[in-house]
Amino acid sequence: MVDITYSAPHETIMVDNKTISNPAFLEWKKKDQILLSWMHTTMTPAVFAQVINYKIAQSTWEAVNRSYISQTNARYYQIKHELVTLKKGSSSIIDYMDRIHQLTDELSLIQQPMTDRDIIGIVLDGLNLDYDVVINQVQTMSAIPSFEEVYSILLNREKRLEVYHHSSHNHSSIALLASNNRGPHSGRVLLNLMTFQQPFLQ
């Protein structure tokens, strides 16, 4: 098989003052068409449509490469934009962190990996006020934590928030019950209920 970057020999040569077909060109052409055919069979329909007018392997390869670079650059900017604008919002920590992991993995696949410091920065920037304690904790660490370490810290914080909000809801229910019950035994009932309610958030 020919080198894809090898230029074609002259189509004709002079022999005894006569112009004849160049055997080297004919051999090159034969091999080039075999290579071009193989390239076509490996292309998706969308890619094939972009290069259908190219008649030799080298120009076809160059067109495919230009298209790939263009699409890769476009995807790079799309991913970077999504990362810097991504917010946790109402998403769970699992969904939020998994999305960041997917995007940074995709950057690695197109040869544009992010450093741990930059990834953690993206994670922290997208958190809401409920996670300020985690942001402060991570930013004051002596060494940059791994993605997995921050993931674990955030999951623990999320769990504590869930317990706290559940506890707050129960206290609100008790307060409502107190306002609606004024009987002689209401105080004892409320005391028994409150025994199981302990605020849980740091």
Q: What is the CA radius of gyration of the chain?
A: 33
For residue range 14-54, what is the model confidence (pLDDT) as tens digits? 888 889 988 999 999 999 999 999 999 999 998 999 999 99
Last residue of a domain, one of 74, 105, 133: 74
Q: Is residue 41 part of a domain?
A: yes
Pair 159, 134 in one domain: yes
Pair 105, 38 in one domain: no
Half-sphere exposure of 106 (CA within 13 A, CB side): 17
Q: Which domain does 110 fall in, by range?
A: 86-166
Q: In the chain, where does DSSP find H-type helix?
A: 23-41, 45-51, 57-85, 93-109, 116-125, 132-139, 147-180, 186-194
How many domains does the structure of the chain reveal? 2
pLDDT averaged over every residue in the chain: 85
DSSP 172: H
Q: Is residue 200 part of a domain?
A: no
Q: Is residue 79 part of a domain?
A: no
Q: Is residue 196 part of a domain?
A: no
Pair 113, 66 in one domain: no
Q: Is residue 69 part of a domain?
A: yes
Cα–Cα distance, 100 to 107 (Å, whole number): 11
The distance from CA 14 to its chain's CA centroid, rounded to whole angstroms, is 59
Give Cα separations from 23 to 14, 19, 30 (angstroms).
12, 12, 11
Q: What is the mean pLDDT of residues 58-75?
A: 92
For residue range 114-162, what is the model confidence (pLDDT) as tens digits? 999 999 999 999 999 999 999 999 999 999 999 999 999 999 999 999 9
